[in-house]
Chain A
Amino acid sequence: MKHLLRIATPILLVLAGTATATELPEYTLVLKNHVYAPSELKVPAGTRFKIVVDNQDSTPEEFESSEFNREMVVLPNRSIVVYVGPLRAGTYRFFGDFHQDTAQGRLIVE
């Protein structure tokens, strides 16, 4: 039993370590009437993070940014998770490909 613990403890510790490591900061963007809320998202530089895009419209949208290279369809009343970064400090535009005249936003990395 002692031997088992001696082996299991470090394994469990490592597993716990990776579990916390994968818990990335998460930011939510809500799409309503083809507008992103918030339209500006502040995120830390040099850190990988998740963006949850919650589409509350009754039409599909595509969350897209050619500046941080992301592109994913969000179906009506569904949400998606997109992993981004780590990014350098700066301002990055994102938009909704299907409603570009209104669905515009900026990611401020600092």
Chain B
Amino acid sequence: MPGVALLVFREVLEAALIVSIVCAATRGVPRRGLFVTGGIGLGITGALLVALGADLIANLASGAGQNIFNAGVLLVAVAMIGWHVVWMSGHARELSQQMNAIGGAVSTGSSSLTLLLVVVALAVLREGSEIVLFLYGMAAGGIGAADLASGMALGVSGGALLGFALYFGLLRIPLRHFFSVTNGMLLLLASGLAATAAGFLVQSDWLPTWGSQLWNTSWLLSNGSLAGKTLGILIGYNATPEGMQIAFYMTTLILLLVSMRWQQRRVPVPVPAPAVRQVSLETAT
């Protein structure tokens, strides 16, 4: 069933892109495999629970529940990514030096593990709950188990494959620039997710529009195309944005940039052999 494969592919891709960036950004963090797996597991469990409770969520806040829930999930992810980005901006160089010095393992703050666990779980939960509702509908509509399974397998592997491609592509970036690049990507990811959250709140009239269709670049790249959707996740691309979405995007971007600059000033750039001292501190606490 091509319809099943296609929908599953699109949803998995959206989650996979986020998971890939997060995985790249936490390169060298000990036991991160465990946390990513845990995040995916939590996300799938959450997706099933959200799908089961969809009726309950939908009825909250006089019908706006679904949009508020989605916006809430996104904004929590934005906060977690933001925390990590700000922390990293003070430690990026130090981490690169550690990776060179002690062959891969780096000591990181708790924001890395939170990022892995929570952001991965939320990304999987959001896209996963849609897949669950869709598959439930397909099954109720009488689609065969073989069609369902093959569509699922095709969609999941296709989406995951592109996620891996992004991950391994990112790993090719020279170590010297690596964390600056992943930090920049996280920054744009967070800003885009904030804009998406604003869209959900506007669609339920919880926030004013502040002008819809401020511009239209559909002729160049439409929101519906694969490239448009991919850039939509990665940098928050939107062919026809609303004013409120731009306000959320810019507020997140500027707030994080200012905090990053502030953190860079606060944390002195470490000079000779900071890695060893940092590691011993981490293990001591």
Q: A residues engaging B (CB < 8 A)?
A: 48, 58-62, 66-73, 75, 78, 80-88, 97-101
Give the number of A-B contacts (CB < 8 Å): 78
| Complex interface: chain B residues within 8 A of A67 (CB) | 218, 222-224, 240
Contact sample, A vs B, 15 pairs, CB 8 Å cutoff: A59-B136, A59-B138, A59-B141, A60-B54, A60-B134, A61-B137, A66-B228, A67-B222, A67-B224, A69-B223, A69-B240, A72-B67, A75-B54, A78-B58, A100-B3
Inter-chain CA distance A86–B141, complex, in Å, is: 36
A97 touching B7, Cβ below 8 Å: yes
| Complex interface: chain B residues within 8 A of A81 (CB) | 63, 204
B55 touching A78, Cβ below 8 Å: yes
Q: Is the interface of A mostly helix, strand, loop or mixed?
A: loop
| Complex interface: chain B residues within 8 A of A85 (CB) | 209, 212
Q: Which of B58, B138, B222 contacts A66 (CB 8 A)?
A: B222
B203 within 8 A of A: yes
| Complex interface: chain A residues within 8 A of B223 (CB) | 66-67, 69
Given known A-B contacts A67-B218, A83-B202, A101-B3, A72 and B66 have beta carbons under 8 A apart: yes
Inter-chain CA distance A38–B54, complex, in Å, is: 26
B231 within 8 A of A: no
Closest 7 CB pairs of A and B: A59-B137, A66-B224, A66-B223, A60-B133, A83-B205, A98-B134, A60-B137
| Complex interface: chain A residues within 8 A of B202 (CB) | 83
